Amino acid sequence: MTGQLPPRDFDSLRAAIVEMRATLPKRLMQVASYALERPDDMAFGTTASIAQAAEVQPSTLVRFAQHFGFDGFSGLQQLFRERLKERNGSYEDRLRHLESGGTAETEGVAILNGFLAAGHDSLSTLANTIDADALERAITILARAQTIYLVARRRSFPIVTYMAYAFGKLKVPCRVVSTSIGNEDDLLAQATAADAAFAVSFSPYAAESAAQAQALSERGVAVVGLTDSALSPLAASTAVWFELVEADHAGFRSLSASMAFAMALTVGVAERRRQA
């Protein structure tokens, strides 16, 4: 490709990269990923700083640029700079475009916008209602635990699935109390007062989740709860619980705020354990 004309703008470059995806050598691919992932940094950085961030050699950046027909890295970087400038200039344009486009909105986009609006609402509500003390206590409880038991069903299940994934990455021992073998009770029987649990249950409440939270609580295992109402059966048997109401769109709720909360709790716990 070296002999050809270089892409004229950022979108062309993007297209060229996508097209060559299959044939691009390893390191050049690394640069390509970084370039598309963090275009702002590409615009401002130097070969040295970008190379370090992308974990390649500075010379690789030059080879990458030449691979796409540029003289050197500088020519490539110009594309990223112009992109930033243009984004700025046409900012109002884009807003207007969104507004006008809003009239000819397809049904799919209308639904998506509904969920996006609901997501914003949920996140804002959570920001305003969060109890800082409760959050600290919850982090303390979970950070102290030997093993964290994660209890959830149905709609709440994805939340603990994600937490389990993140905890795993962070080397925090946890177990999802799940049911494909049907040995949940055996699993829970292993929990001791040195452990802790995190239980999630949204309306309509799954009876098992509440029952398991209660069982754990009675055996001296501290339970942190996440639910959507003070009347939730979960609230009764938790040491700390949080109320989180996801805004709904047309009767359906997404998990936008719950996921943000779950990640905050997960990272908070890992951070606390790291400090200790």
Partner DNA sequence: CCAAAAATAGAATGAGCATTCCATGAGGAT
Partner DNA sequence: ATCCTCATGGAATGCTCATTCTATTTTTGG
Number of other CB atoms surrounding residue 97 within 10 Å: 11
With respect to its own copies, which residue has the nearer C-beta, 3 or 204?
Answer: 204
With respect to its own copies, which residue has the nearer C-beta, 3 or 103?
Answer: 103
Interatomic CA distance for residues 178 and 183, integer angstroms: 8
Binding part of the chain for its own copies, among 51-59, 188-196, 211-219, 246-254 by CB under 8 A, reads: 246-254
Q: How is the beta sheet containing 196-201 ordered, strand by strand?
A: 174-177, 148-151, 196-201, 222-227, 240-243
144-163: contacts with DNA (CB under 7 A): none
> What stretches of 105-155 adopt beta strand conformation (E)?
148-151
* Residue 165: alpha-carbon gap to chain centroid: 12
- State yes or no: residue 48 binds DNA (CB under 7 A): yes
The backbone torsions φ and ψ at residue 111, rounded to the nearest 5 degrees and listed phi first, read: -65, -45
- State yes or no: residue 14 binds DNA (CB under 7 A): no
Binding part of the chain for its own copies, among 1-9, 61-69, 130-138, 190-198 by CB under 8 A, reads: 130-138
Q: Is 175 helix (H, G, I), strand (E, B) or coil?
A: strand
168-187: contacts with DNA (CB under 7 A): none
69 binds, among its own copies, DNA, none (CB under 5 to 8 A by kind): none
With respect to its own copies, which residue has the nearer C-beta, 75 or 114?
Answer: 114
- State yes or no: residue 9 binds its own copies (CB under 8 A): no
Query: Among 75, 135, 147, 273, which residue sits at the site for its own copies (rule: CB under 8 A)?
Result: 135
Q: How is 56-78 classified by DSSP, letter by letter?
A: S-HHHHHHHHHHTT-SSHHHHHH
- State yes or no: residue 12 binds its own copies (CB under 8 A): no
Q: Do residues 1 and 20 touch, judged by C-beta distance below 8 A?
A: yes
Query: Among 71, 93, 105, 185, which residue sits at the site for its own copies (rule: CB under 8 A)?
Result: 105
Interatomic CA distance for residues 142 and 197, integer angstroms: 7
Segment holding 227, helix H or strand E: strand 222-227
- State yes or no: residue 78 binds DNA (CB under 7 A): no
17-36: contacts with its own copies (CB under 8 A): 17-18, 21-22, 29, 32-33, 36
Residues that bind DNA (CB under 7 A): 25-28, 46-49, 56-63, 65-66, 71-75, 77
